[in-house]
Amino acid sequence: MRRKAALILFVLTASALAAGQAPATSQNPLHRQYHEGETLAYHMTGVNEAWHYSIRAEGTVKKDTAGTWFEEYHWTDTTSDGQPVVLRAGTESFRQRVSLDPNAMPAVPDLTKVDPRLIGPITDFMTFYADLWLAVKTGQVTHPGDHFYFPMGQPSSWADGVHTLVGVSSIDFDFTLKQLTAADGTAVLVVRHVPPAKPNIPLPASWMQTPVADTPNNWVQVAKQPDGKFMGGMGQETFTVELKVNLADGKILAGNMNNVVKIVERTCTDQALTQCGDPERHEIVRKIDIALEPQKP
């Protein structure tokens, strides 16, 4: 589950980077001001290659026994290619906890009890929050044009050892406060997830060393096929998140994510990927948008 793996990497990154950082203060223009009982609803739309979907997240602001603020969401109104979707029984009881409180720590939710079709929206939604949380926590981007780069580079795996034998990516993080606009009281934060200069990923075959794009390859996968052959692929993964934030209370007003994986794949008869067919180029493109719905009177 590649998206889940990427999110786990981000949580590890957030934990490592946040260690030793002073908590964000209310002087930070991105600081979130929470009010217990406040309700929020986000409309999410997604395009994953040829698949189009939409979904709604309804949340309530709460505070735990330690005094840490969080938002708790449930998911409704799912459509797939314009048609309503009935999700797996039990999914309706799932609650997702996210937070912009600098004293909180992002954590991957338990996805074992949700419909698999919700895993993408759930992890993407958390990525929006985790990106903004990290910007708030570090306090490194507080003025227009401020830029903060974190060279994480730690590999993250989504291999299951059965069907996906190798599945690894490596990402660095690049934060920019694009603008603060007093006229409408908003800020725009851009977070680019980019290939490291030296990705620390295993490349099982020598032909995988050749860059697919203009950076070293930071994505690799070897999957067993139903006919007993093996599909090997390597490439470049990037994604850019742009968030519009309300300066009055730090709420996310809107967000968009553009995720592109440029891949070269070869079908091989051996697991070592030495007896392979011709390379084939493939590009995975995902676009995710969220928008805060107006409060009901």
Q: What is the pLDDT of residues 167-201, one digit of tens each?
A: 888 988 899 999 999 999 999 999 999 999 999 89
Question: In the predicted model, is pLDDT for residue 9 greater than 60?
Answer: no
**In the predicted structure, residue 28 carries a pLDDT above the cut 70:** yes
Q: Could you tell me the domains of the chain?
A: 2-292 (2.30.230)
CB 249 within 8 A of CB 231: no
Q: What average pLDDT does range 104-118 have in this prediction?
A: 82
Asked if 86 and 120 count as a contact pair (C-beta separation under 8 A), the reply is no
Give the C-alpha separation, 29 to 246, whole Å.
9
Element (H, E) at 268: strand 252-268
Residues 6+ apart with CB under 8 A from 69: 32, 34, 61, 62, 63, 99, 100, 101, 104
pLDDT digits (tens, 9 = 90+) for 145-154: 999 998 877 7
Long-range contacts formed by 105-110: CB under 8 A, 24+ apart: 105/11, 105/14, 105/15, 105/18, 106/10, 106/11, 106/14, 106/130, 106/133, 107/11, 108/4, 108/7, 108/8, 108/11
pTM: 0.87
C-beta contacts of 158-164 below 8 A and 24+ residues apart: 158/1, 158/2, 158/4, 158/5, 162/224, 163/223, 163/224, 164/221, 164/222, 164/223, 164/224
46 Cβ partners below 8 Å, 6+ apart? Answer: 52, 53, 54, 55, 120, 121, 124, 286, 287, 288, 289
CA–CA dist 192, 172 (Å, integer) = 8
Cβ atoms of 200 and 155 closer than 8 Å = yes
Please, are residues 234 and 218 in contact by the beta-carbon 8 Å criterion?
A: no
Say what the pLDDT of residue 138 is.
87
For residue range 156-169, list pLDDT tens digits in order: 888 878 888 998 88
**Tokens coding 74:** 């449930």
List, for residues 241-296, the tens digit of each pLDDT value: 999 999 999 999 999 999 999 999 999 999 999 999 999 999 989 999 999 999 87
15 or 97, which is more confident: 97
User: What span, in angstroms and rounded, lies between the C-alpha atoms of 42 and 56?
Assistant: 6
User: What does the DSSP 8-state code read for residue 22?
Assistant: P
Task: Decide: helix, strand or coil at residue 282.
Answer: strand
Mean pLDDT of the chain: 89
